[in-house]
Amino acid sequence: MILQLLKSQLSQKVENAEQSDIKKADKDLERLKKELEEEGAVKANLIRILHYARPEWAFLLLAVFSSITRGCVFPAFSLFFTEIIEVFAIPPGDPSLQSKGHFWALMFLLLGGVEAVYMITQARTPSFQ
């Protein structure tokens, strides 16, 4: 009985908090719309924005490519890590143990180098203007 009462009170508090958050967000939205209207702001689509950014397109493309590459690093790391775990499962006397271990260690080094290059590129691209 007490547990049901506590659940009921908790659900009412959560519901009240959600309603107040929604009301606050609605008020903020109305305030922002009013400010934009007062300033005479007009709607702009993506094509129009890209047209204004035409001089920076090369830098934007470089930054997007860097971001995509950096986003692929962590899935690649998981694949490499899986392969190195498989290398650890090779029996100690197997002649392929050392060559596979060195190969995947170099792959990790290469992956770290790629991450470093693209991280620096992504960080420096906005300042190339």
Asked if pLDDT for residue 10 goes beyond 90, the answer is no
Asked if pLDDT for residue 58 goes beyond 90, the answer is no
pLDDT tens column, 66-124: 889 889 999 999 999 999 999 999 998 888 999 999 999 999 999 999 999 988 888 88
CB atoms within 10 A of CB 118: 20
Flag whether the pTM goes above 0.85.
Answer: no
More confident residue, 14 or 34: 34
DSSP string for 60-111: HHHHHHHHHHHHHHHHHHHHHHHHHHHHHTS-TT-THHHHHHHHHHHHHHHH
Residue with tokens 């009170």: 9
Asked if pLDDT for residue 35 goes beyond 80, the answer is yes
Backbone angles phi, psi at 42, to 5 degrees: -115, 155
Residues constituting the chain? 129
More confident residue, 23 or 114: 114
What is the C-alpha to C-alpha distance for residues 125 and 72, in angstroms, rounded to an integer? 19
Task: Tell me how many degrees the CA angle 94-101-98 measures, rounded to the nearest 5.
Answer: 40
3-state secondary structure of 44: coil
Looking at every residue in the chain, the average pLDDT score rounds to 85
The amino acid at 61:
L
Q: What is the pLDDT of residue 122?
A: 80
